[in-house]
């Protein structure tokens, strides 16, 4: 089973045309790992930050501790060192349990609504099954850029449309003594999402649907 979560765990995919974008690049500063609060003077900025962090949580489920901070990450450059990657061991049970606890905490801190929480939980379970697979080694995953085309704030609720560039990196093999193969897809995804202010005063994502941008995806 290969680690290709660009078929999104927390979002449903279809096709959509490209849009004119206002870009939040990988160099943009976020505030990890806390969710965006209404204390930010510009409500739209708080909503953008909340969605971006929630999307990073979704994309980074199961990643190693070295990549767990919630910030935009550039797509890795260069060729994957397959020999070095193949020397890594399957993460220990304790390590996998720590990743699950970390990700469940992040999910509850950035998402709301029973349906979305359940969807994210299912995506985490699926990812962790891959992490335990000796024929698949997850090297990393993330979001390198988020560009918002629409942000509408009305009281305690908000809606956004955004395009994100997402990537994952892993190596796979078919048998115990087989050669490792690089699987490192990247894609542009259009998101429609809804957010609301939670009991603690933070913006939480309550619905999130993703569609591959034209010319992107599998």
List the chain domain ranges: 5-213
Residue 194 or 3, more confident: 194
pLDDT in tens, 122-175: 999 999 999 999 999 888 899 999 999 999 999 999 999 999 999 999 889 888
Average the pLDDT over 25-38 and give the result.
48
Q: Which is nearest to 145 in space by CA: 167, 120, 169, 123?
A: 167
pLDDT in tens, 52-88: 999 999 999 999 988 889 999 999 876 677 777 777 7
Q: For 155-198, where are the E strands, in sequence order?
A: 157-172, 181-183, 186-197
Question: Of 33-37, 41-45, 78-82, 85-89, which range is least confident?
Answer: 33-37
Residue 214 is predicted with a pLDDT of: 84
Residue 2 or 167, more confident: 167
Strand-pair partners of 183: 170
Long-range contacts of 102-107 (CB under 8 A, 24+ apart): 102/68, 103/57, 103/61, 103/62, 106/33, 106/57, 106/70, 107/57
pLDDT in tens, 21-30: 344 545 444 4
Per-residue pLDDT at 218 exceeds 80: no
Question: Of 16-20, 35-39, 147-151, which range is least confident?
Answer: 16-20
Q: How far apart are CA 168 and CA 185, in angstroms?
A: 6
pLDDT in tens, 99-118: 999 999 999 999 999 999 99
pTM for the predicted model, two decimal places:
0.81
Q: How far apart are CA 215 and CA 188, in angstroms?
A: 9
Question: Of 16-20, 190-194, 210-214, which range is least confident?
Answer: 16-20
Q: How far apart are CA 91 and CA 88, in angstroms?
A: 9
Element (H, E) at 150: strand 136-154
């Amino acid at each position: 089973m290969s680690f290709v979560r660009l078929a999104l765990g927390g979002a449903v995919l279809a096709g959509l045309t490209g849009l004119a974008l206002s870009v939040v690049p990988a160099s943009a500063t976020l505030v990890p790992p806390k969710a965006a609060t209404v204390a930010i003077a510009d409500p739209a900025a708080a909503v953008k930050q909340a969605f971006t962090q929630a999307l990073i949580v979704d994309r980074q489920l199961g990643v190693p501790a070295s990549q767990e901070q919630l910030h935009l990450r550039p797509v890795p450059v260069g060729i994957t060192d397959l020999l070095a990657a193949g020397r890594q061991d399957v993460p220990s049970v304790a390590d996998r349990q720590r990743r699950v606890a970390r990700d469940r905490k992040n999910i509850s801190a950035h998402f709301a609504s029973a349906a979305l929480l359940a969807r994210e939980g299912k995506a985490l379970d699926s990812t962790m099954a891959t992490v335990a697979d000796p024929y698949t080694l997850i090297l990393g995953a993330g979001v390198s850029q988020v560009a918002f085309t629409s942000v509408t704030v009305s009281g305690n609720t908000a809606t956004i449309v955004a395009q994100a560039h997402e990537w994952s990196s892993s190596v796979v093999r078919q048998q115990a003594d087989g050669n490792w193969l690089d699987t490192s897809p990247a894609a542009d995804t259009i998101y429609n999402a809804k957010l609301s202010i939670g009991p603690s005063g933070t913006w939480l994502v309550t619905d999130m649907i993703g569609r591959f941008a034209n010319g992107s995806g599998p």
